[in-house]
Amino acid sequence: MAVKRFVLPPDCHGEGEITLSGNDFHYLCRVRRLKGGDSVPAMLADGSRYFLSLTERGTNTCRARVLPDPDTDRQGESGLEEIPPIEVYQAVPKGRALDDVVRRCVEAGVTRVVPVYTDFSVATAQPESSERNRREERLQRIARSAAEQCGAVRLPEIAPAVELSQIPSFAAKEDAAFFLHQEPLAEQSLHGYLEAAIRKVVLAVGPEGGFSPPELRLLEHKGFCPVYLGPQVLRAENAAFFAVAAIRVLLLERESWTTRNRQT
Amino acid sequence: MAVKRFVLPPDCHGEGEITLSGNDFHYLCRVRRLKGGDSVPAMLADGSRYFLSLTERGTNTCRARVLPDPDTDRQGESGLEEIPPIEVYQAVPKGRALDDVVRRCVEAGVTRVVPVYTDFSVATAQPESSERNRREERLQRIARSAAEQCGAVRLPEIAPAVELSQIPSFAAKEDAAFFLHQEPLAEQSLHGYLEAAIRKVVLAVGPEGGFSPPELRLLEHKGFCPVYLGPQVLRAENAAFFAVAAIRVLLLERESWTTRNRQT
């Protein structure tokens, strides 16, 4: 079972003393109920491991010492690192559904989430604004707290939102790039796509109305392949989680299955 | 893509005229914006198909005629029926998380959900009471609306909550019964369990604290096998959906993979 690690704040870069307030104070002193001398497993965003030892508890802030984790050599504590990273390009859904998508993606072990503006997205790209910054910060907070709760081995990256045309191409053979498609047009099964040794899985998830025909062409041009995961109509906040769950289990059990084509 | 069908109310048993009010009126006349003469695909809870044609629209109620679906012979419209049924025994989580579990289970194509009281459940069994009836009715409503939204081929059954000791045994070879386990103790992979021809998949999902040791013994005694789906710690409202997603995709692609053991 994964160890739940406190994610150290971005201004902390390793060993030393830090002061914590706000959500961090609340989590450590109220939720985890740490007292002076208590310590918890912690990590930097990149997954490097430490212990955090509480030295002083105030009313709204606390002081803590960041110590090396003696077990730091023990690789693959949770096995998560043995699975190739999974990136999700998620069409921005309406309302606050993106919060749920990010939370569940982190929980499902996604390593990077990139919100994408698409033709059928309700939300549209905004120029650099304080509202946009606030949104990005909220998603970062959500990702951090989800990572702590689910015992992630590193803090997943939540990238700033981009237009679909800005997403990179994944032409390399070792990158398995898919988009979800509602019809069983896919030439290959998910098993087929994930059979070869892969370096990274990239998943594009459309909005409620799906990707538009020009967007589908663009995605195929960028090396994304259609994948059909069944006839159920998934809500925007569930589609990525559904697909990632299946991808994770196929990768986790990669040694136990082979496709029928290979067999002959 | 699945056709979204209006689920006819329980007191409707097939062709004829019906009066609709409350949520049904709201859904048809406000959400779907039907006018007199318009019709929508509909079904009874068992999945038998009809058309519902609006004859009269009032302020809070409407009259509609239930007509035979001329395409009723077309089997497997959405392909959902080709996959063995999936039943979920879900430990009752705290608060309203069960609502989310039911909604997502229906969306993921689960055919039956049975809430279960377990040692580490916060909620406990209540004697027959109006509060209990209200809860059961709310879950039924949630399931019905989720089935309409996701184009289910029949209305999934939401059973009354039971104690873990009351759940049946699944000793038959054609029933694949699992419980989620946080450690990779499982002797077999999910692929291994789902490789044989199966009649039904049964999944038991524990509460936040997991099943207690006596409960684990009881489940194994009842024919449930442990399955490990990775190190991520899933919240109670996400665990069933994660597992069902993986199960669904493995079953959907059943023809495309084989386990390595079989191959040798």
> Least CB-CB distance to A238: which of B4, B104, B191?
B104
pLDDT computed for residue B127 by the predictor: 66
**Inter-chain touch B79–A184, beta carbons under 8 Å:** yes
**Inter-chain touch B246–A245, beta carbons under 8 Å:** yes
Q: A163 - beta bridge partners?
A: A117
**Inter-chain touch B1–A152, beta carbons under 8 Å:** no
| Residue (of A205, A201, A212) closest to A252 by Cα position | A201
| pLDDT greater than 70 at residue B71 | no
Tell me the average pLDDT across B157-173. Answer: 90
* B129: closest CA of chain A, how far (Å): 34
Question: CB neighbours (10 Å) of residue A98?
Answer: 24
pLDDT computed for residue A178 by the predictor: 92
Q: Determine the Cα–Cα distance for residues A236 and A104; give it in Å rounded to an integer.
A: 12
Does residue B121 or residue B264 have the better pLDDT? B121
Which residue out of B74, B183, B194, B249 would a mutagenesis test of the A interface target, given it has the greatest number of A Cβ atoms within 10 Å?
Answer: B249
| Amino acid letter, B6 | F
Tell me the average pLDDT across A101-111. Answer: 93
Handedness of CA B161, B165, B168, B174 (dihedral sign): positive
pLDDT computed for residue A165 by the predictor: 93
A 152-181 residues inside an 8 A Cβ radius of B: 152
Helices B97-107 and B236-252 sit at what angle, rounded to 10 degrees?
Answer: 10
Model confidence band, residue A32 (pLDDT cutoffs 50, 70, 90)? confident
B258 and chain A: CB distance < 8 Å anywhere?
yes
Which chain A residue has the Cα nearest residue B229?
A: A249
A75 and chain B: CB distance < 8 Å anywhere?
no
Residues sharing a CB contact under 8 Å with residue B179, sequence separation 6 or more, in sequence order: B203, B204, B205, B206, B211, B216, B219, B224, B225, B226, B227
Mean pLDDT over each residue of chain A, to the nearest integer: 86
Q: B226 - beta bridge partners?
A: B179
Q: Determine the Cα–Cα distance for residues A92 and A96; give it in Å rounded to an integer.
A: 9
* A128: closest CA of chain B, how far (Å): 34
Question: CB neighbours (10 Å) of residue A232?
Answer: 24
**Inter-chain touch A1–B183, beta carbons under 8 Å:** yes
Q: Determine the Cα–Cα distance for residues A243 and A205; give it in Å rounded to an integer.
A: 9
Tell me the average pLDDT across A192-215. Answer: 91
Which residue in this structure is represented by tokens 């039956």?
A: B112
| pLDDT greater than 60 at residue A204 | yes
Q: Distance between the two ends of chain B, CA-based, in angstroms?
A: 38
**Inter-chain touch B232–A107, beta carbons under 8 Å:** yes
Q: How many residues does chain A have?
A: 264
Model confidence band, residue A125 (pLDDT cutoffs 50, 70, 90)? low
The pair of structure tokens assigned to B182 is 């946080």
Which residue in this structure is represented by tokens 């982190």?
A: A106
B 88-107 residues inside an 8 A Cβ radius of A: 104, 107
| Amino acid letter, B67 | L
pLDDT, tens only, A235-249: 888 999 999 999 999
Which residue out of B102, B148, B150, B191 would a mutagenesis test of the A interface target, given it has the greatest number of A Cβ atoms within 10 Å?
Answer: B191
| pLDDT greater than 70 at residue A124 | no
Residue B148 phi, psi (nearest 5)? -65, -40
Model confidence band, residue B223 (pLDDT cutoffs 50, 70, 90)? very high
* A263: closest CA of chain B, how far (Å): 7
* ipTM of predicted complex: 0.81
The pair of structure tokens assigned to B16 is 């004829």
Which residue out of B77, B232, B241, B261 would a mutagenesis test of the A interface target, given it has the greatest number of A Cβ atoms within 10 Å?
Answer: B232
| pLDDT greater than 50 at residue B264 | no
| pLDDT greater than 90 at residue B115 | yes
| pLDDT greater than 60 at residue A76 | no
| pLDDT greater than 60 at residue B114 | yes
Rounded to whole angstroms, what are the CA distances from A200 to A37, A193, B106, B115? Answer: 41, 12, 31, 38
pLDDT computed for residue B78 by the predictor: 46
Model confidence band, residue B75 (pLDDT cutoffs 50, 70, 90)? very low
pLDDT, tens only, B24-70: 898 888 888 888 889 888 888 888 888 899 999 888 999 999 988 87
Model confidence band, residue A201 (pLDDT cutoffs 50, 70, 90)? very high
Q: Which domains does chain A have, with CATH numbers?
A: 6-68 (2.40.240.20), 80-260 (3.40.1280.10)
